Chain A
Amino acid sequence: MLCASGRLLAAQAATTLPAPPRASGPALHCRRRELHFPGYPELPSCDPLAGRLVRQSVPPGQRAIRRRGKMPPATGGGLAESELRPRRGRCGPQASRAAGRDVAARAAARNPKGLAWGSRRFETASRWALLALVTLLSFATRFHRLDEPPHICWDETHFGKMGSYYINRTFFFDVHPPLGKMLIGLAGYLSGYDGTFLFQKPGDKYEHHSYMGMRGLCAFLGSWLVPFAYLTVLDLSKSLSAALLTAALLTFDTGCLTLSQYILLDPILMFFIMAAMLSMVKYNSCVDRPFSALWWFWLSLTGVSLAGALGVKFVGLFIILQVGLNTIADLWYLFGDLSLSLVTVGKHVTARVLCLIVLPLALYTATFAVHFMVLSKSGPGDGFFSSAFQARLSGNNLHNASIPEHLAYGSEITVKNLQMAIGYLHSHRHLYPEGIGARQQQVTTYLHKDYNNLWIIKKHNTNSDPLDPSFPVEFVRHGDIIRLEHKETSRNLHSHYHEAPLTRKHYQVTGYGINGTGDSNDFWRIEVVNRKFGNRIKVLRSRIRLIHLVTGCVLGSSGKVLPRWGWEQLEVTCTPYLKETLNSLWNVEDHINPKLPNISLNVLQPSFPEILLESHMVMIWGNNGLKPKDNEFTSKPWHWPINYQGLRFSGVNDTDFRVYLLGNPVVWWLNLLSIVLYLLSGSIIAVAMQRGTRVPAEVAGLSQVLLRGGGQVLLGWMLHYFPFFLMGRVLYFHHYFPAMLFSSMLTGFSPLLCSRHSVGHPPAALCLGLGLLAPGQGHTHGGNPEPPPGHRLQLLPLPPSGLRDGWSPGPGPPKSYGRTKVARLMGILRPLRRFQPGSRNFPEEPAGTQYWTLPAVRKLPKEPEEFCCPPGPSCGSAPGTEASIGESRSSVHSTTEDSNLQAAPWCAAQRRMGARGWTWVRVYVRAHCPYPFGTQTV
């Protein structure tokens, strides 16, 4: 088994393993048959079903000790700890240092001192070096040619623009929470971008404007995904090969790469998601030292990352859900631990509430506070918000405005619907088309400010001009019967028994009459909600209802978008069902009446919670509004994991530089395969455990890792993927990427599943990962700078682009329709073949030439096979090196390798098996070994 990990892993085990071999206590109360299999070197329990279930069967006293995080007593304590802590892992460097000291002391007593120390230091260093390598590689790929293309790609036009809005401090509306765009704006600001670029449409050249700061931020955050995934998998699986494989998959996934290079919210979102995942895993592995500084650190970091994820996009809710589920399960087990007093459990609960609920909420609210503080000027988003909200924005005509307070006859007003994002009552000189109700003037609602929103309140029975100075001012009162005349067209607001254009059960509302003379269908009773009859009506604050006198229906807006004839404004109807909804309530916003004194509107200032609530309502409404239309191509969630079709980022017609967001097919299809594989093996293991099948301890330990660590990751994938099936809004390919991160991490676990011999080999994994550097990479930076004029589409060298029909990056050459299915299947092999040195398409790819062939890599570690055999003590024959694997291994190296092999005949068998990669047999053989190594024979 050890063969899988090689030297590095052994070293890691050495540095991080605290207790097992240390205790020289009494004999075990059951035979410890488990081995230190490399992925999970400290597998503790004698029970094959080790895990949380086991905890309960243990005398409470020992557990209490463990829980409170004190050092266990010398006798038996170490054993208890090793047995009871299936989940304990490295708790960061501190933990390993603390635990390692003890081990070191014992090791020093038995081993040549310099050797142990030296090797450990070397291994620690190399572990850090690996992390650094992964990080460096990730950064290098993400920052490579970041400045290209020097024009707007895809949604940069939105998010870049929003960054500019922050710099210019103009108010805007977007369906996502503000944090991501604020960060973009900040990065732009710090890097000297002045906010003057218009970001009009994709393809516009940046020219002299500085955009690298914003792209750099996204690439910077996107680069952290790889090390985060690496550390997460390392912590969950305790297997270096799994972690390296994950890192390789993500580093060389062209989709992640492309998505991290542009001014988009996704890299920021994914950064926070992965950060939350990582810190959650870290704090889980600190669970044996609750309330330590490190524990608090990771716990609160989880909270911070959650706030970040939610603050960028509402998709962040999924990771919150995952952390929430994890926390509930955690608390449930703590609660079931009878050795913990209720007070302690209460402390645990409080800590989690503080760090995972209160802290994120506070931070999230804070981002909104900053958002509202920064955006203080009137801008394009005003119309989406209520009148009171707009009064906050400087430059808006409601800001510091002073208008007459009470409505009077003759006032010119605008009437706004109280439902969010419906807008102002509006009419214009266009008639309803033939066949849609009566052919009279349209009445709609409109979100923008316009002269056509102005209406004049008149008495129902006279047409005299109330603004005539000779008449006294007469206020409009609750319950009055009025007429609303459209100012521009002098038609009255009118309704009748014709069906409304879209909502067929409602009545149509029209503009009717000439110069204000209409009929009795123009009369409306004005009512204020919750007021007595006879009260005056206040501007902005009164919630009014207009009831049609003849039919008894209520003026409302259905919120449905009229077709083209209605200029895609919203439908206004008169609803006969007197239901109290916001759609049928209005308020008066602008108010012009020269005969009345103006008062200041500052009293209106809404409080912060009100603003927060309103902006959320508008965002939710906006998200729901993004509905796909019929006859439009939309991306379906089932397209995503199979990499059915990509997303064109750049290069419609006018540019040569084409960017196409497409996952690396090898990575993605491997991910799919590993999900299937995982589910299959997971259910087999679960059924076997439920049947009480006796499995070798090693397999049991392995399955623990698989079920728990893999399950955690699988849950993440499901939570980030399946909810999209329920969403009605427009979906895009890039929505899958958070889920894709999780499924890549799951793939990282697959070497634990299958043969650990070849795939799990760290350098091999690395090499495989390099091999996956597939065609999309070529796409990303593969623009041919100077195509021959005239034929440029046909001549662009993008050969692998046609692997599937859906992957055409833009208006390329016509697809070859004659391709057979077989050829399409064969297509998957193509990128690999292409990888041979000297391939025309990947000329400057050093990785391909150096690492591709496996044999070359094999030579890197010295004779990996020899690690296959555990040293002597495992068969009880050799002198005891009772420390952990790493140390025993190092000692074996120096001493009696051959004799050990002879002494243990099964080792030879194992070597043969191992060479063929047949793990299970190996495991079986070893399980029959009478005294597995690692026992305490001194």
Chain B
Amino acid sequence: MWGFLKRPVVVTANINLHLVALTGMGLLSRLWQLTYPRAVVFDEVYYGQYISFYMKRIFFLDDSGPPFGHMVLALGGYLGGFDGNFLWNRIGAEYSSNVPVWSLRLLPALAGALSVPMAYQIVLELHFSHCAAVGAALLMLIENALITQSRLMLLEAVLIFFNLLAVLSYLKFFNCQKQSPFSLSWWFWLTLTGVACSCAVGVKYMGVFTYMLMLVVAAVHAWHLIGDQTLSNVRVFCHLLARAVALLVIPAVLYLLFFYIHLTVLFRSGPHDQIMSSAFQASLEGGLARITQGQPLEVAFGSQVTLRSVFGKPVPCWLHSHQNTYPMIYENGRGSSHQQQVTCYPFKDVNNWWIVKDPRRHQLVVSSPPRPVRHGDMVQLVHGMTARSLNTHDVAAPMSPHSQEVSCYIDYNISMPAQNLWRLEIVNRRSDTEVWKTILSEVRFVHVNTSAVLKLSGAHLPDWGFRQLEIVGEKLSRGYHDSTVWNVEEHRYGTSQEQREREWELNSPVQVDASRNLSFMARFSELQWRMLVLRSDDSEHKYSSSPLEWVTLDTNIAYWLHPRTSAQIHLLGNIVIWVSGSLALAIYMLLFLWYLLRRRRNVHDLPQDAWLCWVLAGSLCGGGWAVNYLPFFLMEKTLFLYHYLPALTFQILLLPVVLQHISDHLCRSQLQRSVFSALVVAWYSSACHVSNTLRPLTYGDKSLSPEELKALRWKDSWDILIRKH
């Protein structure tokens, strides 16, 4: 126990100077002059506003990705003491002095810098030589597009970092597996794989592809494990269980954790509230919560309510009516009922108030004690300001002629009686006698006479309808659709019977009584769902490109131009690396196919272990490229060159692997080998040269003359900005 007193305490440290040097160079290349330019560069304008929201604790919704990436950026702002006061309105705007530019850009730059030594480690763990590993790291180091992207407040560098971390830790784990399963380092790397995967997914949805790749590779290895008959059944089960926990459970929990932090941090209402449901809005501080706080929970006969469409497309809106009637004859010659218009109105208005009336009584006020409305009850909806009740009948709706018109009934004393009975159907009920609740209940109104359902058709009415949204009675109840579902947003028990008093009452703000809360899971699932289904209207962008252009670097993105000089920053890759990366991939595929076919005919060109290394390297690097690149062909959103960068890093990893393979296995003589090494050195120095030539466009630190800029325009499709005067 006291042994350490008897023996000298010795610390032996193995320091891999390769690694240290690479890290140092990585840091130097990414952190050098990090605060320059002190202006908003390209998508910083986009992410910046979310950082400000985080600083101000205002709720927002961004459909571009889960919140972890934004949170990483916001962490930088938090560490730098950013107060969120900056108007992110245009690219190129100078940062004011309160914006800590250095710390905002620090985390992505660190992530980018650490990717360099990680590339080294990955190639090493794939059992290739140090030389190849250093080559991979050096390529990462001088890749201009990666440098540009990681020096700015953008998320790709972070995503790439976690992608590489996931691959690296899986490889470490896999190598541990052979020697010491269930050891401490085994557990550490296994867990780290799961953590890195979930972080990658948390930064951008694209991370899912890398996660899937890791899962597939892990599944294949686990399958081999199952086939290993030296292991006992219990042990196999333990192995599988450990993997399932680390690679499935931990990522899921972490993903939820990101959202938990997101929702905890952002508790104030903000500009994106309208997209969310009333219940969600009510859980935010300020905004709707201020209005709905303390309103009665159970809707009773006589309640005054506003009804909001749950679907909220094209815009969130409330059931509305006003004095104006439908025009007698529409533009296309069809007739209408000429009754009072019922629309959906995207703004709060006193005309959005409706009174829930019991058809059997004549009262418009809540009796005491209030009689709550339940699922299946028959109700009439009386418009608060005009006291006419909601009605639908067999008349074609103005914009959607296949549906019924919905109106507020005016008795013209012709043979068209009022059909104003609706049956209340609570969609998210737990029992069939459930009470209609404010905000929480999602209800449908089914017309009693025609069994039509009250529906928001999504069409805009013409001028006579003040461009409000059309409401129809959908006759064909073909299943369930969100556009037929409504919820009560504002609610109060009406007290005044007289119309004049009621108008006064409706004009006054809502009175207050109790509050309610939404569980985290409910908020999470709603937020996640909205993020996935929200469609921002995609329009083409000047610098958008198609995936086919990426492989050969036929496009670039101008990120920033100095307001006076012609110094500029471009996302522009090192074309030598891009082209040779694609070539290496092609060579790999061909060689792999060749070996595979020959092995099938029982010709073994490679020794078994070399073959396994070759396959593993290909499936991780080539597979990583494929999963990060090919899905873009299926996507319909606007795509940019920087979407290719994760795929590119995997290509860069593959490049030295292929080179070493050629030198080891295809060069027969020593002479060939030396010639090949010389070629590789020449190729690498040309890559360095290209990188150096493009450096002014990467860092934007040097103003070039128009001639120099023209000389840099190696491809006609590159868009390099030249000032005319």
Chain A positions within 8 Å of B, measured between CB atoms, are: 332, 335-336, 338, 342, 503-505, 563-564, 576-577, 629-633, 635, 639, 644-645, 687, 690-692, 726, 728, 806, 808, 810-811, 814-815, 817-818, 820
Does residue B229 face the partner (Cβ distance < 8 Å to A)?
yes
Q: List 28 A-B contacts (CB under 8 A).
A: A335-B600, A335-B601, A336-B600, A342-B601, A563-B460, A564-B399, A564-B459, A631-B455, A631-B456, A631-B481, A632-B481, A633-B478, A639-B479, A644-B479, A645-B478, A645-B479, A691-B229, A691-B236, A692-B229, A726-B634, A806-B478, A806-B479, A814-B446, A814-B451, A815-B477, A817-B446, A818-B432, A820-B432
Q: Looking at the complex, which one of A342, A806, A817 makes contact with B376 (CB distance below 8 Å)?
A: A817
Asked if B636 contacts A728 (CB within 8 A), the reply is yes
Does residue B423 face the partner (Cβ distance < 8 Å to A)?
yes
Nearest residue in A to B542 (C-beta to C-beta)?
Answer: A577
Asked if B483 contacts A631 (CB within 8 A), the reply is yes
Pairs A-B, 8 closest by C-beta atoms: A631-B458, A814-B451, A631-B483, A633-B478, A690-B227, A336-B600, A630-B313, A690-B226
Nearest residue in A to B477 (C-beta to C-beta)?
Answer: A808
Nearest residue in A to B544 (C-beta to C-beta)?
Answer: A577
Q: Looking at the complex, which one of B226, B458, B601 makes contact with A629 (CB distance below 8 Å)?
A: B458
Residues of B within 8 A of A563 (CB): 460
Given A630-B313, A692-B229, A336 contacting B601 (CB threshold 8 A): yes
Does residue B286 face the partner (Cβ distance < 8 Å to A)?
no
Residues of A within 8 A of B636 (CB): 728
Q: Looking at the complex, which one of B313, B479, B541, B597 makes contact with A631 (CB distance below 8 Å)?
A: B313
Per-residue CB contact flags for chain B residues 276-319 toward chain A (1 = under 8 Å, else 0) read 00000000000000000000000000000000000101100000
Nearest residue in B to A333 (C-beta to C-beta)?
Answer: B600
Does residue B540 face the partner (Cβ distance < 8 Å to A)?
yes
Interface size grouping (class) on chain B? 35 or more
Most chain B CB inside 10 Å of its own CB: which residue of A335, A342, A814: A814
Asked if A335 contacts B425 (CB within 8 A), the reply is no
Asked if B540 contacts A633 (CB within 8 A), the reply is no
Beyond A505-B540, A563-B460, list 17 extra A-B contacts (CB 8 Å): A335-B597, A338-B601, A503-B540, A504-B539, A577-B540, A631-B455, A631-B458, A635-B479, A644-B479, A690-B223, A690-B227, A691-B227, A692-B229, A728-B636, A806-B479, A815-B451, A818-B432
Name the distance in Å between A503's Cβ and chain B's nearest Cβ. 6
Name the distance in Å between B713's Cβ and chain A's nearest Cβ. 15
Residues of B within 8 A of A808 (CB): 477
Question: How many Å lie between the Cα of A769 and that of B542 in the bound state?
Answer: 62
Name the distance in Å between B655's Cβ and chain A's nearest Cβ. 30
Within 8 A of A (CB), among B568-600: 597, 600
The prevalent SS among residues of A at the interface is loop
Nearest residue in B to A810 (C-beta to C-beta)?
Answer: B476
Given A629-B458, A631-B458, A728-B636, A332 contacting B600 (CB threshold 8 A): yes
Asked if A633 contacts B481 (CB within 8 A), the reply is yes
Residues of A within 8 A of B448 (CB): 814
Nearest residue in A to B476 (C-beta to C-beta)?
Answer: A811
Given A503-B539, A645-B479, A631 contacting B432 (CB threshold 8 A): no
Name the distance in Å between A220's Cβ and chain B's nearest Cβ. 32
Does residue B233 face the partner (Cβ distance < 8 Å to A)?
yes
Within 8 A of A (CB), among B440-458: 446, 448, 451, 455-458
Given A577-B542, A806-B479, A630 contacting B314 (CB threshold 8 A): yes
Asked if B376 contacts A505 (CB within 8 A), the reply is no
Within 8 A of A (CB), among B475-501: 475-481, 483
A-B Cβ contacts below 8 A, count:
78
Residues of A within 8 A of B477 (CB): 808, 815
Question: How many Å lie between the Cα of A89 and that of B432 in the bound state?
Answer: 58
Residues of A within 8 A of B475 (CB): 811
Residues of A within 8 A of B226 (CB): 687, 690-691
Residues of B within 8 A of A332 (CB): 600
Residues of B within 8 A of A644 (CB): 479
Question: How many Å lie between the Cα of A338 and that of B480 in the bound state?
Answer: 59
Does residue B602 face the partner (Cβ distance < 8 Å to A)?
yes
Name the distance in Å between A359's Cβ and chain B's nearest Cβ. 26
Nearest residue in A to B597 (C-beta to C-beta)?
Answer: A335
Nearest residue in B to A653 (C-beta to C-beta)?
Answer: B475
Name the distance in Å between A348's Cβ and chain B's nearest Cβ. 14
Most chain A CB inside 10 Å of its own CB: which residue of B425, B478, B539: B478
Name the distance in Å between A199's Cβ and chain B's nearest Cβ. 20
Question: How many Å lie between the Cα of A576 and that of B456 in the bound state?
Answer: 37
Question: How many Å lie between the Cα of A808 and that of B480 in the bound state?
Answer: 12
Residues of B within 8 A of A639 (CB): 479
Nearest residue in B to A340 (C-beta to C-beta)?
Answer: B601
Residues of B within 8 A of A631 (CB): 311, 313, 455-458, 481, 483
Question: How many Å lie between the Cα of A576 and that of B541 in the bound state?
Answer: 11
Nearest residue in B to A819 (C-beta to C-beta)?
Answer: B432
Nearest residue in A to B400 (C-beta to C-beta)?
Answer: A631
Name the distance in Å between A807's Cβ and chain B's nearest Cβ. 10
Given A503-B539, A692-B229, A728-B636, A817 contacting B479 (CB threshold 8 A): no
Question: How many Å lie between the Cα of A826 and that of B335 in the bound state?
Answer: 47
Name the distance in Å between B463's Cβ and chain A's nearest Cβ. 9
Asked if A817 contacts B634 (CB within 8 A), the reply is no
Question: How many Å lie between the Cα of A726 and that of B477 in the bound state?
Answer: 26
Nearest residue in B to A689 (C-beta to C-beta)?
Answer: B227
Asked if A505 contacts B539 (CB within 8 A), the reply is yes
Residues of B within 8 A of A811 (CB): 451, 475-476
Residues of A within 8 A of B541 (CB): 505
Question: How many Å lie between the Cα of A526 and that of B457 in the bound state?
Answer: 44
Per-residue CB contact flags for chain B residues 218-233 toward chain A (1 = under 8 Å, else 0) read 0000010011010001
Question: How many Å lie between the Cα of A553 and that of B597 in the bound state?
Answer: 54
Residues of A within 8 A of B233 (CB): 691
Given A577-B542, A631-B313, A690-B223, A818 contacting B479 (CB threshold 8 A): no
Nearest residue in A to B475 (C-beta to C-beta)?
Answer: A811
Asked if A338 contacts B479 (CB within 8 A), the reply is no
Q: Looking at the complex, which one of A504, A633, A690 makes contact with B479 (CB distance below 8 Å)?
A: A633
Name the distance in Å between B161's Cβ and chain A's nearest Cβ. 30
Residues of A within 8 A of B451 (CB): 811, 814-815
Question: How many Å lie between the Cα of A120 and that of B2 in the bound state?
Answer: 91
Question: How many Å lie between the Cα of A238 and that of B608 in the bound state?
Answer: 40
Residues of B within 8 A of A505 (CB): 539-542
Residues of B within 8 A of A815 (CB): 451, 477
Nearest residue in B to A631 (C-beta to C-beta)?
Answer: B458
Q: Looking at the complex, which one of B227, B459, B600, B634 makes contact with A692 (CB distance below 8 Å)?
A: B227
Name the distance in Å between B724's Cβ and chain A's nearest Cβ. 13
Residues of A within 8 A of B313 (CB): 630-631
Question: How many Å lie between the Cα of A810 and that of B313 in the bound state?
Answer: 27
Question: How many Å lie between the Cα of A47 and that of B481 in the bound state?
Answer: 56
Residues of A within 8 A of B479 (CB): 633, 635, 639, 644-645, 806
Asked if A817 contacts B600 (CB within 8 A), the reply is no
Question: How many Å lie between the Cα of A817 and that of B453 in the bound state?
Answer: 14
Residues of B within 8 A of A576 (CB): 542
Name the distance in Å between B462's Cβ and chain A's nearest Cβ. 8
Nearest residue in B to A692 (C-beta to C-beta)?
Answer: B229
Asked if B601 contacts A817 (CB within 8 A), the reply is no
Nearest residue in A to B457 (C-beta to C-beta)?
Answer: A631
Question: How many Å lie between the Cα of A338 and that of B460 in the bound state?
Answer: 71
Nearest residue in B to A505 (C-beta to C-beta)?
Answer: B539
Residues of A within 8 A of B601 (CB): 335-336, 338, 342
Per-residue CB contact flags for chain B residues 113-132 toward chain A (1 = under 8 Å, else 0) read 00000000000000000000
Name the distance in Å between B607's Cβ and chain A's nearest Cβ. 20
Question: How many Å lie between the Cα of A324 and that of B448 in the bound state?
Answer: 55
Question: How many Å lie between the Cα of A853 and that of B719 in the bound state?
Answer: 80
Residues of B within 8 A of A564 (CB): 399, 459
Per-residue CB contact flags for chain B residues 515-557 toward chain A (1 = under 8 Å, else 0) read 0000000000000000000000001111000000000000000
Residues of B within 8 A of A577 (CB): 540, 542
Nearest residue in B to A345 (C-beta to C-beta)?
Answer: B601
Name the distance in Å between A197's Cβ and chain B's nearest Cβ. 25
Residues of A within 8 A of B597 (CB): 335
